[in-house]
């Protein structure tokens, strides 16, 4: 058994039918044309053979009685692999728009909390004979870094497929603890954690340096209003686009910035053009919430969430692409400095000390702030460096890879940039009722990146 952290549990407390809190990891696969079995059967068999590499996929939630502590992960005594598989066939021609519609539909329902919090969807009938394996995993299970670890474990590691073999010992579920014993343990465990860890967190908070004025990141709940910053509905839209990673490398070399700075400037440029055409560009620059990993070397290979959110101002008020990039870098450097100085005493760290009832109250408070027109950020934005070479899964080539996270109440847009095999893949999920034309937004991103490349070649 393993207790969820305060942050892991908060992803559960935030969840409502309008805000399901799962992530998607999407692999577009090219099946072997000479294979005798179907792509569905091949993916199913391959993952089943490697399930021992994903212990979290056999664990279900066990809430603490009377909310005396955070829930436990416990191995599901009724685990059945087949109940987590879903199969969908697209109608011809199986183009990108149909693919995206299928992704949007499967991301809308919440995961069943009576089972381990994941599903694997196999989408067949994509153009070119391809299939897609879509892992739908609750955010309480893993953050982006842990999800990347999932991928590394289950994909082939070379021509010889050097994947760790199953253990000799047969898997057996853990016994479910009696409710009384669980309640007493949860209460004492929470008190023990607070007693041993709160003094150090208070000390880190006192040691943090406060910044003010222009050298301070955007304050919470000061983001300007946009069409996608309103109360959300369960309807979802999904869209994606790709651009050559080499374009970003050219820009990085000329302007001496990071790939992350380039992603920020690309998103800022795309949002500026999209909102400007609709007469909805705020005078103030937009604010992005960026999840930043707080994993230490000793956390390598562990599951759950070890991250904190960093707020970064996007230079959507700057017309010139090169100047927009420079300003994004400045804003990002300010936010990173503040993040370092408050490490260990941020909001996510304080969640560890709050009992579940107060954590649920925080989620309610967020919804109340949104109803009052206060937004912590305009969008969620992640940038993940993926494998530089193409992967294979069970011998099938992975042609493309995309990742998306959830949207939140009041924040109806989530973007992820994931580099893979020489491509920079952008994927977006949005509340369809707030962003009904998501494709028009995602198609602006390669254009914005190309503007930066042209500026770099001209510089």
Q: What is the pLDDT of residues 50-106, one digit of tens each?
A: 888 888 899 999 998 888 788 899 999 899 999 999 999 999 999 999 999 999 999
Q: Which of 138, 139, 155, 190 is catalytic?
A: 139
For residue 276, pLDDT beyond 50 = yes
What is the 8-class DSSP label of residue 81? G
CATH superfamily of 217-387+408-458: Nonribosomal peptide synthetase, condensation domain (3.30.559.30)
Q: Report CA-CA distances (Å) from 141 to 69, 138, 177.
A: 17, 6, 21
Q: How many angstroms separate the CA atoms of 340 and 347, rounded?
A: 14
What is the 8-class DSSP label of residue 217? P
Q: Which of 444, 425, 435, 419 is nearest to 270 (CA)?
A: 444
Q: How many angstroms separate the CA atoms of 72 and 269, rounded?
A: 43
Give me the pLDDT at residue 353, please: 78
Cβ 64 vs Cβ 176: under 8 Å: no
Q: What is the pLDDT of residues 211-236, one digit of tens each?
A: 445 566 777 778 999 999 999 999 99
> What is the mean pLDDT of the segment spanning 239-262?
97
Give me the pLDDT at residue 212, please: 46
Least confident range of 161-165, 247-251, 322-326:
161-165
Largest CA distance in the chain: 70
Give me the pLDDT at residue 215, please: 61
Residue 13 is a catalytic residue:
no
> What is the mean pLDDT of the segment spanning 335-354?
80
Q: How many angstroms separate the CA atoms of 8 and 20, rounded?
A: 14
Helices 321-341, 259-277: inter-axial angle, 10-degree rounding: 120
For residue 160, pLDDT beyond 70 = no
Phi-psi bin for 129: left (phi > 0), alpha (psi -120 to 50), beta? left
For residue 37, pLDDT beyond 70 = yes
Give me the pLDDT at residue 232, please: 93
Q: Name the more confident of 1 and 266.
A: 266
Give me the pLDDT at residue 167, please: 67
């Amino acid at each position: 058994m393993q207790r969820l952290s305060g942050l892991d549990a908060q992803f559960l407390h935030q969840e409502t039918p309008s805000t399901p809190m799962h992530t998607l990891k999407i692999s577009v696969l090219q099946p072997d044309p000479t294979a005798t079995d179907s792509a569905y059967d091949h993916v199913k068999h391959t993952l089943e053979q490697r399930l021992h590499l994903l212990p979290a996929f056999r664990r279900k939630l066990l809430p603490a009685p009377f909310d005396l502590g955070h829930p436990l992960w416990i191995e599901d005594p009724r685990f059945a692999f087949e109940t987590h598989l879903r199969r969908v066939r697209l109608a011809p021609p199986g183009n990108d728009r149909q693919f995206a519609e299928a992704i949007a539909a499967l991301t809308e329902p919440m995961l069943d909390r009576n089972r381990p919090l994941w599903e694997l969807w196999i989408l067949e009938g994509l153009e070119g004979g391809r299939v897609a394996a879509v892992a739908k995993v609750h955010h309480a299970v893993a953050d982006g870094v842990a999800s990347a670890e999932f991928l590394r474990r289950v994909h082939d590691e070379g021509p010889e497929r050097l994947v760790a073999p199953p253990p000799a010992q047969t898997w057996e579920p853990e016994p479910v603890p009696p409710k009384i014993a669980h309640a007493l343990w949860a209460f004492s465990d929470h008190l023990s954690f607070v007693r041993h860890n709160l003094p150090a967190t208070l000390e880190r908070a006192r040691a943090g340096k406060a910044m003010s004025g222009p050298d301070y990141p955007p304050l919470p709940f000061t983001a300007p209003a946009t069409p996608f910053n309103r109360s959300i509905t369960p309807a979802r839209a999904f869209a994606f686009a790709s651009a050559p990673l080499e374009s970003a490398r050219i820009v990085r070399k000329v302007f001496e910035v990071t790939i992350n700075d380039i992603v920020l400037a690309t998103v800022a440029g795309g949002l500026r053009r999209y909102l400007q055409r609709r007469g909805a560009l705020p005078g103030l620059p937009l604010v992005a919430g960026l999840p930043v990993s707080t994993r230490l070397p000793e956390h390598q290979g562990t599951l759950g969430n070890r991250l904190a959110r960093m707020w970064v101002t996007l230079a959507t008020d700057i017309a010139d692409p090169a100047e927009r990039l420079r300003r994004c870098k400045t804003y990002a450097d300010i936010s990173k400095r503040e993040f370092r100085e408050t490490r260990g005493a941020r909001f996510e760290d304080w969640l560890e000390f709050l009992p579940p009832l107060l954590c649920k109250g925080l989620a309610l408070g967020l919804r109340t702030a949104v109803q009052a027109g206060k937004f912590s950020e305009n969008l969620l934005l992640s940038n993940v460096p993926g494998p530089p070479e193409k992967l294979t899964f069970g011998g099938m080539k992975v042609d493309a890879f995309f990742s998306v996270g959830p949207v939140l109440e009041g924040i109806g847009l989530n973007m992820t940039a994931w580099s893979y095999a020489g491509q920079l893949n952008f994927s977006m999920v949005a509340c369809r009722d707030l962003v009904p034309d998501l494709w028009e937004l995602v198609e602006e991103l390669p254009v914005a990146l190309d503007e930066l490349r042209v500026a770099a070649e001209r510089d």
